[in-house]
Amino acid sequence: MKEDQIKRRTLLRAAAVTALGSLVPGLSARRMPEAAPEDPTKVPGTPVGKVGTRSPFEQPQKKASDISARSPLQDFYGIITPSDLHFERSHNGVPRIDPNRYELLIHGMVERPMVFTLKDLKRFPALSRIAFIECSGNFRSGKTNMTPQEICGLTSQSEWTGVMLSTLFREVGVSPKATWFLAEGSDAAVMTRSIPVRKGWEDAMIAYAQNGEAIRPEQGYPARLFLPGWEGNTNVKWIRRIELSDQPFMTREETSKYTETIKGGKIRQFSFDMDARSIITYPSYPQTVEKGWIEIRGLAWSGRGKISKVEVSTDAGKHWQAATLQEPVLDKAHTAFRYGWHWNGDTTEIMSRAVDDTGYTQPTLKQLTNARGTDMGGYHLNPVTAWVIQRDGTVLFKPEKFR
Amino acid sequence: MRWNQVNYRRENISVWTCLLVMVISCNRSPERFGIGRPATQHEIDAVNISIAPDGKGLPPGTGHVAEGRALFIAKCAPCHGPTGTEVPQYRLVATPDDTTHTRAIGNYWPYATTLYDYIRRAMPFNAPGSLSNEEVYHLTAFLLYSNQLIDSNRVISARTLPGIVMPARKWYVNDDRRGGNEVR
């Protein structure tokens, strides 16, 4: 009787997997056997193919809401986010753009207003840079059963390739009097941000490639603005127009959104830099651990420079020890850290804090509310994140109240 | 070992060729590459929809509260509610003295020109870019009126819109975070 039930359940599951295979593109094209053979050396393997696939035993996924999809930070190894797991935020969907019809217009306070096709952009010197992009509204809290993905999954890292904006600025002859430029996307929100010209000269890029291939539609295909270390929203995707000016345009995304209330009823605007932050991704909810040696692992990053140190506490913040930083430690980039810990089986809290090369130390939520007031807005929150390790080995997020 | 004259010459040529190739290819970067084409004024005008807070870029036309109300009911109310207050996450209307955490036009937006720019760019959400310039002026007028920022008979135009002082404007300050050993 019991055996029958199991069989039926297994059959149902197999049917479900098959149905899934026909729904998810790619899965059905080169479907792997539903169960691995007892001995893989005794049966021929899957033939070579045109596009590789993830093992069916690995199912990392973005967690999507109506407006954004979060990266599964807890599933990542190393520092590169697989392109199909890069977080997403769009303001009216992902546009479909024909690369052959794509054009970037640069005008306004320039000597020569010009139009660049995608092919044009690719003819300029091509530079690559590994750096993160993080949405400035990247802190969720409120319950104990939250994963790193749910708490701060709106950050991802890629190798971006493109042409430096400074090269295009020279090509059009940007006026020395220009102080701001408008970056405009060709999505259904025609999303725009005003960016100080100095960032354009410093390290801004028009990126057309991501992790070795054309940039993904969700990340701005065929070209996006890439501003290392600056809040995600300023990295305008599907960029179609850049207008040089001597004043900011005060668009909706830099006034009614992406501004934050701070102490004294004030509202902070043009908060571009992403402050240093870290999170332990192992162990984290809903993982479980066993008594003995545990390698605590996580990611740290800063929009202001390199991570110079990550400290880990395994006793609820009473003592802090330096974690090992995994090379490469790059400028404005996710940096992996690890810390060997022997857990004696008692309930405790573990947490990490990042320090960047400006000397900035990732604050606690209390430090943030002290600085900005309890009415502080939801952008640019980068608090130390604690996990509670319970006696039975379960791990829970420790949410803190601040409003 | 002595260099054979012929070999030497050959060597010499290849050395010069090498140097020449290096001069041409070694990270030389001109001031301009001559890539891309000039944009015509017509091309620029066709896509340049930006509006500055001083009103630069605002098109001709006038907006009236009554017309705006009718348009709002027809095209905006399905998401924002009939008065722009009913749906918390899409709330548009709040008076300047509203002390709730609501971020609406009357108590949070610092510039009136942003209204025109944003509606024209992105609204209605299901049919972006479908409104005429005149319709955008009407909606702008209605929303300013609903937020008690103008009287019902005030006409909104390129001339009057930039002059409307938004109450929240005075609260805005530039980011003063600088990294280093301080939390701001």
A126 and A1 within one domain: no
Question: Of the candidates B35, B38, B122, which has its C-beta nearest A190's C-beta?
Answer: B122
B80: phi then psi, degrees, rounded to nearest 5: -90, -10
Let me know if residue B26 belongs to a domain.
Answer: no
Contact list in B for residue A363 (CB cut-off 8 A) is: 183
Same-domain pairing of A316 and A384: yes
pLDDT, greater one: B23 or A9:
B23
* CB A314 within 8 Å of CB A260: no
Residue B123 lies in a domain: yes
| B6–chain A nearest CA distance, Å | 40
Q: What is the mean pLDDT of residues A229-233?
A: 98
Percentage of chain A exceeding pLDDT 70 = 92
User: Is A175 buried (19+), middle (13-18) or exposed (0-12) by CB count in 10 A?
Assistant: middle
Chain A CA closest to residue B108: A256
Residues of B with CB below 8 A from A368's CB? Answer: 183
- Which pLDDT value is given to residue B14? 59
pLDDT band at residue B24, thresholds of 50, 70 and 90?
Answer: low
Residue A359 within a domain: yes
pLDDT of residue A297: 98
A33 and A124 share one domain: no
pLDDT confidence band for A32 (50 / 70 / 90): low
For the segment A266-297, what is each residue's pLDDT rounded down to a tens digit?
A: 999 999 999 999 999 999 999 999 999 999 99
- Whether B118 has its CB under 8 Å from any CB of chain A: the answer is yes
Pair A221, A352 in one domain: no
Tokens of B93: 């209307």
Q: Is residue B148 in some structural domain? A: yes
In a domain, B143, yes or no: yes
End-to-end CA separation in angstroms for chain B: 73
Smallest Cβ–Cβ distance between A269 and the set B31, B121, B174 belongs to: B174
Per-residue pLDDT at B1 exceeds 70: no
What is the tens place of the pLDDT at every residue in B97-152? 786 667 899 999 999 999 999 999 999 999 999 999 999 999 999 999 999 999 99
Q: What is the pLDDT of residues A318-351, one digit of tens each?
A: 999 999 999 999 999 999 999 999 999 999 999 9
**Token pair belonging to A156:** 């991802």
Question: A259 is written with which tokens?
Answer: 């501004």
Q: pLDDT tens across A101-121, in order? A: 999 999 999 999 999 999 999
CB contact under 8 A, A367 and B39: no
Residue B15 located in a structural domain: no
Q: Are residues A120 and A12 in the same domain?
A: no
Residue from the list A114, A241, A359 with its beta carbon closest to the beta carbon of B181: A359
Q: Do A331 and A393 have their domain in common?
A: yes
pLDDT at A208: 98
Give the pLDDT band (50/70/90) at residue A29. Answer: very low
| Predicted confidence (pLDDT) at residue A19 exceeds the cutoff of 50 | no
Residue A70 included in any domain:
no
Q: Which domain holds residue A6?
A: 1-44
- A197 shares its domain with A109: yes
Q: Which two tokens stand for residue A115?
A: 């139009």
Q: Tell me, yes or no, whether A143 lies in a domain.
A: yes
pLDDT band at A22 (very low <50, low <70, confident <90, very high): very low
Say if residue A248 is in the same domain as residue A365: no
The residues in B 22-51 lying below 8 A from A, measured between CB atoms, are 29, 31-33, 35-39, 43-44, 47-51
When pLDDT is averaged across residues A304-323 and rounded to a whole number, the result is 98
- Asked whether residue A210 carries a pLDDT value surpassing 50, the answer given is yes
The residue assigned the tokens 């705006």 is: B68
Residue A64 inside a domain? The answer is: no
State the pLDDT at residue B15: 56
Answer whether residue A135 shows pLDDT above 80. yes
Residues on chain B touching A250 (C-beta within 8 angstroms): 52-53, 110-111, 113-114
pLDDT of residue B26: 59
Note the pLDDT of residue B6: 45
Q: Which of B37, B113, B173 sits opposite A250 (nearest CB)?
A: B113
User: Looking at beta carbons, which residues of chain B come within 8 Å of A258?
Assistant: none
Same domain, A248 and A382: no
Q: Coil, helix or strand for B74?
A: helix
Q: Are residues A120 and A237 in the same domain?
A: yes
Asked if A312 and A357 sit in the same domain, the reply is yes
Is B40 among the domain residues? Answer: no
Mean pLDDT on B3-12? 49
Per-residue pLDDT at B11:
53
pLDDT band at A7, cuts 50/70/90? Answer: very low
Span A193-210, average pLDDT = 98
Q: What integer pLDDT is reported at residue A30 of this predicted model? A: 47
**Residue A57, domain member (yes or no):** no
Q: What is the pLDDT of residue A16?
A: 42
Report the residue of chain A nearest B110, measured CA to CA.
A255
- Mean pLDDT computed over every residue of chain A: 93
Interface pTM, i.e. ipTM: 0.88
Q: pLDDT tier at A126 (50, 70, 90 boundaries)?
A: very high
pLDDT at B183 over 70: yes
Domains in chain B, number:
1
Nearest by CB to B177, from A190, A247, A275: name it. A275
Interface of B with A in 49-88 (CB under 8 A): 49-54
Residue A130 above 70 pLDDT? Answer: yes
- Residue B101 sits at the chain A interface (C-beta within 8 Å): yes
Among A87, A69, A65, A91, CA closest to A187: A91
B181 to A361: CB separation less than 8 angstroms, yes or no: yes
Three-point CA angle A35, A39, A41, nearest 5°: 120
Bridge partner residues of A88 (DSSP): A69
pLDDT of residue B12: 56
Binning pLDDT at 50, 70 and 90, where does residue B2 land?
A: very low
**Number of domains making up chain A:** 3
pLDDT at B8: 47
Q: Could you say which of B113, B122, B179 has the minimum Cβ distance to residue A356? A: B179
Output b/e per residue, B161-184; b: 16+ Cβ within 10 A: bbebebbbeebbeebebebeeebb
B163 within domain boundaries = yes
Q: Find the domain containing B91 and state its range.
A: 53-171
We report the CATH number of the domain holding residue A376 as: 2.60.40.650
Q: Residue B126: which CATH number?
A: 1.10.760.10
Assign B21 a pLDDT band (cuts: 50, 70, 90): low
Residue B20 pLDDT greater than 90, yes or no? no
- Residue B181 located in a structural domain: no
Confidence of residue A14 (pLDDT cuts 50, 70, 90): very low
Closest CA to A101 of A117, A122, A123: A117
Write the pLDDT tens digit of every residue in A42-54: 999 999 999 999 9
Chain-chain contact of A241 with B48 (C-beta, under 8 angstroms): yes
| Cα A353 from Cα A386, distance rounded (Å) | 10
Assess whether A219 and A166 both reside in one domain: yes
Residues B25-44 have pLDDT tens digits of 556 789 899 999 999 999 99
